A and B are shown apart, each in its own frame.
Chain A
Amino acid sequence: MRIGDAKQSYEADEAIWTSSTQKFWFAVFLLVLAVFPFVADAYLLYIGCLVGIAVISTTGLNILTGFTGLISLGQAGFMGVGGYTVAWFSLHTALPFPLTLLLAGLLTAAVGILVGLPSLRVKGLYLAIATLAASVFLHFIFAEWQAVTGGMGGLSLPPAHLFGLTFQSDFEMYFIIVPLAVVMVLAAKNVFRTRTGRAFIAIRDRDISAEILGINLLRYKLMSFALSSFYAGVAGGLFAYFYRVVTPESFPLSLSIFYLAAVIVGGMGNLLGGILGAAFMTLIPEMLNLLTATLTPFYPNAPVFMSPMLGIIFGALIVGFLIFEPNGLGEIWQRVRRFFRLWPFRN
């Protein structure tokens, strides 16, 4: 317990950052994010943008799977809907990027609601498989609806633009992706300070009791699907602007599993954990490359033998976290924080 954190008002008590120390560190964090693109090299900047997109998508999936307890294997498909929406509007209209991204989010939310419809009748794994079916259908549509999606070859799109400015380089895209990621994570945090978020968690913990306590299950499950897919759609839209190409092969099933893994490794039902998970999982291949490069001088065929390790590490992380650290990186982070708060008085 900290000294002096008694609150004068309920508003202050329910704020996201309840102490000035927390506010200070958040401000520092924002400052770092703002300065980063000016000091980072092209490679780090690119990775930074990738992490930003992954954070948005992971947060969306966390809302659905982590907080509402509805497992989804359709995240990549939803991102694809967002990506193609942005691509189509960029090619056929002159809409600026905030509008195309909004449309991407909304259209994906609509698709999410459609996919979520069976969620009242089917639960748990059956629902997961329904989302898997959705991703199969979406992939089929991406590949076959030639007129709109460009078929297997996909679509190439012009850069994002707003008020005559275009956002083309990673440096420019960073200023779209990262602020959006921050805003969207904060918005998700807000949801869990209100009745909507409580309803999601109640459904996850005990859906039947939640219903008897006055929560309309279908309504909130669909709302969770919509919200989650909105995030996925925006992430997919950013993906499209970032790479400027969308093809059916950009959104494979393995990407859905990647995001599920990010949620698990980060911590289901923990927004901060989700962010950590997204960053961590995005960085793993890069860390592995680094390790390979370090090993190569001593062990020349390191690249060939290290590469399959990625799959093994990826799987081992999922299994290991589930068995040994089911609350994920978010929980580890809390432990570290507690340690430093009490340090050096206790260890």
Chain B
Amino acid sequence: MDWLFFGEISLAGLAMGGLYGLIGLGFVIIYKATRVINFAIGEIMMFAAYLFLAFAGGMEMSPWVALPLAVLGGSVLGGVIEKVMIRPMLGESSISVVMVTIGLASILVGLVELGWGADPQLLPEFLPRKPVFLGELYLAPKIAYGFLIGATLLLVYLLYFRFSRGGVALRATASDQAAAYSMGINVRRVFNLAWVFGSLAASLAGVLVAATGGLSPQFGAVGLSVLVVVIVGGLDSILGALIAGLFIGWLETVAGAYLGGQYRMPATFAVLAVILVLRPYGLFGTHEIERV
């Protein structure tokens, strides 16, 4: 066995997994606060990446201006989605709400095709091209720097949720909606904030992923991998999303490298199936007690 090769593959996988963790975080924030499973997260990522393309490519802004703008655009989109589509569904069955997000995904794809056409696109380069070596291990620069940017946002998020007022409100709402409400927390605002923050994480990840792999209206399919991540980690566990993100990213890449690209999805979905049978609420998720 070529351990150097294995090391490099693993590193590439983990770097990608870091981005999965970031998207997973966006997913979990929304789920924790609002109990909505957002099947459109891949399309929100895509939308932000197209915004970046518009700002940095079409309008020829500096990528470092375009990136925050695109991410901001993605978060605004999240907030609008919550207001327009999710809020009217309060109290409906979770199946219905999920279907709303599936419908939303289709709408976003249509809008993107309308605005940018169906052609495949490449984002303007904004990450350094110099190869990155960790000891002897080679790592593609895009994913290395992508990982760093993603990890930074992740850190900021974790600190924010730990210490800020908004973070506390979010956590309180997540743990007990009724109690949070009675404590004077504006639960509706928190719902909206959760969508904004969740979409923000997804948007940044979207731009970074599109920067490495390219962009097209089919980009949203990456959401499937994220779904695996959050189910394996546990829908309501931030830690779970991060660990599962790294693991799934690694597994996908290793399976792809050693077995072939057609094994990437089956490999991760096999893990998903095992988790569903053994620990349906995920590795780190909370098991809810049912009552009659």
Contacts and interface: CB of A to CB of B under 8 A. Distances in A.
| Touch A–B, Cβ below 8 Å | yes
Interface of A: 65, 69, 71, 118, 121-122, 124-126, 128-130, 132-133, 136-137, 140, 143-144, 208-209, 212, 257, 260-261, 264, 305, 307-319, 322-323, 326
A210 B124 CA distance: 58
B89 A126 contact: no
B169 interface: no
Interface stretch (B56-64, B101-109, B189-197, B240-248): B101-109
Given A133-B269, A144-B262, A126 B110 contact: no
Most buried by A among B95, B118, B224: B95
Say what secondary structure dominates the interface of chain A: helix
Given A126-B276, A308-B114, A316-B103, A69 B95 contact: yes
B227 A129 contact: yes
Contacts of B102: 257, 260-261, 315, 318
A41 to B, nearest CB: 31
A133 B276 contact: yes
Given A126-B231, A322-B103, A309 B114 contact: yes
The 10 closest A-B pairs by CB, nearest first: A318-B103, A315-B106, A311-B110, A312-B110, A315-B107, A308-B113, A319-B103, A315-B103, A122-B280, A308-B114
Given A133-B273, A315-B103, A322-B103, A125 B89 contact: no
B100 A322 contact: yes
B265 interface: yes
B7 interface: no
Contacts of A313: 110
A318 B266 CA distance: 29
B107 A312 contact: yes
B111 interface: yes
Given A118-B276, A121-B276, A208-B292, 20 more contacts: A69-B93, A118-B277, A121-B277, A124-B94, A125-B37, A125-B95, A125-B98, A128-B98, A132-B269, A136-B224, A137-B269, A308-B114, A308-B118, A309-B114, A310-B110, A311-B106, A311-B109, A312-B107, A323-B100, A326-B96
B4 interface: no
B92 interface: yes
Contacts of B100: 318-319, 322-323
B269 A305 contact: no
B72 interface: no
A308 to B, nearest CB: 4
B94 A130 contact: no
B103 A312 contact: no
Contacts of B98: 71, 125, 128
B179 interface: no
A212 B292 CA distance: 10
Contacts of B269: 132-133, 136-137
